[in-house]
Structure 1
Amino acid sequence: MLAPLTHMEPTVRETFGLLYIKSPLLRRIMAHTVAIPAGLKYAERTLAFVFAPHATPADNMVEGGGWSGLRPSHFYATSTDIVAIEHDLDRIEQRYGEITMPTGILFGASDRVLGIHIHGQPMAEKIRDLDFECVEGLGHMPQFIEPERVTAFIRRIAERAFAG
C-alpha cells in the first residue's frame, strides 16, 4: 500500500469536504455540471498540495494521467468512496489483525494529505510482519516522485507473497 487511508478520523470529512456528497443524485448532477470546471480552476493548487513537498511533475497531466481525474465518472466514483469511508472504514479497521499474507506500507514522512503518525506507523502493531517503509522527505505521491523505490518495494512484497 502506498500512503493509505487506514483509520477514521474527524478531519477526513473536512479534508475531502467538497467530495462528501451523500446523495447519489446530487453527486451525479455535480459530476456532470460544476465538478470539472471547478477541478480545472483549482487543479494547480490541489496538485501542489497532493505532491508536496515536491513540485508537481511537468508531465503529470498527460503522461501521469492527470487529465483522467477530471472526468465526471472519476469525480462520481471518488465522491462515492469518500462517503463510503464513514460507513466502512471502522469495520475494516477492526479486521486488520486478520491479515496474514505479506503486506507492506510505504509512507512518505512529509505526506501532507495523510499523517504518517495516524495512518502509517500504527499499522505495524495491527498487521503481523508488516513491512513498513518510511521515507524521509517524501510526500503523498511516491509513485511519481521515486518510481524506482516504489517498484522495488512492490517487488519485495510480491516476492514474499509468492515465495515457495
Structure 2
Amino acid sequence: MAINLIATLSLAAVAGVAAVTKSQVNARKDTAEQDYPPEGQFIDVGGRKVHAVVRGEGPDVILLHGAGGNTREFTFDFMDRLTDRYRVIIFDRPGLGYTDRTSDTYDGVFNTTAESPAEQAEMLQAAAATLGAHKPIVLGHSFGGSVALAWGLNHPDAIAGVVNLAAPSHPWPGNLGPFYTVNASLWGCAVLPPMISAYASAQQIETSIAGVFAPQPVPDGYIDHIGAPLTIRPTNLRTNARQVTTLRPHIVDMAGRYASEFTRPLEILHGDLDATVPLDIHSIPLNQAVSHANLTVLDGVGHMPHHAHPDLVEAAIDRIATQAGLR
C-alpha cells in the first residue's frame, strides 16, 4: 500500500512539473515571438514557407546563419555594410527562425532525423529563384557555410561563388559532446528542450553566447538584437540538435567531391583560435582540396569572423563579385 501511494504521488509530482514546464514554455515562446517577430517576408516553396529579409540594390548576395540562429545574426549590423552596392537576402535556414522544415519527414518530437545541407540548399535555392536571385553570391557562417558548399556542389549554374566563414567542411574526430548528443536522442529530445526553454536563465544564455564569440567580446547590443529567446524554443532546439548531430555523414560525402566538382569561386575566412570549428580540421583541408580557393586566416580570431573582421568579409564578397563579372 505504501509503495503504491509513493508511486502515485511520484507520478503526480512528475505530471505537475510537466504541466508547469509546458505552461512556462508556452509563455516564453509567445513572448519571444512577440518581442522578435519575423523581420522580412515569406516565400512559398512547394507549400513550405521560407522567411527572407531583403534589402538593397545590385548583384545578389545571400547570407546563411549558423547553428541554431536566424536572420538577426546578419541584420545586427553586417547586412547594412553591403546594401549600398548589393541586394542582400538573408534566409532563416529550414526549421530555424521562422522557416518551415523541408518536409513533414522531419517533424515530430521523437524524430531524430534532419535535413542535410543538400536538402537545405535545394529549398533555399528555390526561394532565391522566386526572388529573382538566379546566380547569387552565397555566404554561409558555420553550419550555414556547409549549406553554401552544398549549394555550390549541387547547383553550380545557380551560384556566382561561395564565401565560407568558419564552416564545417571535412569529417572531424570524436563526438560533439553531451549537449548535442542528448538533445538529439530519442528521449532526450522530448525532455530536455522543453526544460531548457522553460528554465534557462538570461545569464546562462549570455554565457553560452560569450563562449561562441571567445576570445572576442560579444558586441554591445548583440544579445538584445539577436532574439536569443527564439533560439531556445523547443522546436528550434530539437531542429538544431538533429541537424548538427546528423551532419557528419553528409560532410564525408561532400569532402570527397570538392576537388573534382567544386568549380565556383571560393573565399574562405577562418579564425586560428576557433574552438567550435577548428581551422586545421576544416578550412585548411578545404583550401587544399579546391585549387582555386582563397583562404584568409584571421589571427587571434574565434568563431565569429563577420563580427571580428567584417571589413575582410566584405572584401571577400567583393572579390567574388569581380571574378564573376557582377561589378
Q: TM-score, normalised by structure 1?
A: 0.82
| TM-align CA RMSD | 2.4
Q: Give the corresponding residue for 2:213.
A: 51
Instruction: Tell which has more relative contact order, 1 or 2 (C-alpha 8 A, sep 6+).
Output: 1
Structure 1's 147 and 39: CA in aligned 2 closer, same or farther, altered over 3 A? farther
In the aligned structure 2, how far is the partner of 1:146 from the partner of 1:67? 26
Question: Which residue does the alignment assign to 1:61?
Answer: 223
Check 1:118–1:39 CA distance in 2 against 1; reply closer, same or farther (3 A cut). farther
Deviations 1:102-152 (A, max 9, x none): 011100112121211111212121112001111112111112222222222
Which is higher, the Rg of structure 1 or of structure 2?
2
Aligned with residue 256 of structure 2, among 72, 76, 94: 94
* Partner Cα distance (1:162, 1:73) in 2: 41
How many residues align structurally? 160
Unaligned runs of 5+ in 2: 1-163
Is the alpha carbon distance of 1:112 and 1:72 closer, same or farther for their aligned partners in structure 2, counting shifts above 3 Å? same
Q: Specify the code of the residue in structure 1 equivalent to 2:282.
A: H
Which residue is 1:30 aligned to? 192
Matched with 1:18 is 179
C-alpha deviation, 1:29, in angstroms = 4.7
Is there any run of 5+ residues in structure 1 with no aligned partner, and where? none
Deviations 1:23-49 (A, max 9, x none): 3x7525533x11323475632332222
Maintained 8 Å contact 1:109/1:134? yes
Question: Secondary structure of the equivalent of 1:61?
Answer: helix
- Counting strand residues as a fraction of each chain, which structure ranks higher? 2
| Match in the other structure for 1:4 | 167
Cα distance change, pair 12–133 in 1 and its aligned pair in 2 (3 A): farther
- In structure 2, how many angstroms separate the alpha carbons of the residues matched to 1:66 and 1:162? 38
User: CA contact under 8 A between 2:266 and 2:293: conserved in structure 1?
Assistant: yes
Which residue identity lines up with residue 50 of structure 1 in the other structure? V
The separation in 2 between residues aligned to 1:86 and 1:163, in whole angstroms, is 34
Q: Distance in 1 between matches of 2:321 and 2:279?
A: 23
Of the three residues 106, 113, 116, the one matched with 2:279 is 116
Q: 1:42 to 1:10 in 2, by over 3 A?
A: farther
Instruction: Looking at secondary structure, tell me which structure has more helix per residue.
Output: 1
Shift of 1:161: 3.3
TM-score normalised by the chain length of structure 2:
0.44
Equivalent position SS for 2:223: coil
Contact 1:40 1:70 in 2 (8 A): no
Query: For residue 291 of structure 2, what is the aligned residue in structure 1?
Result: 128
Report which stretch shifted further, 118-127 or 149-158. Answer: 149-158
User: Equivalent residue of 2:319, what SS?
Assistant: helix
Paired letter, 1:18? F
Is contact 2:271–2:297 with CA below 8 Å preserved after alignment?
yes
1:61–1:67 CA contact under 8 A, matched in 2? no
CA distance in 2, matches of 1:90, 1:154: 27
SS at match of 1:133: strand
Q: Is the 8 A contact 1:4 1:120 kept in 2?
A: yes
Residue 72 of structure 1, aligned match among 234, 237, 241: 234
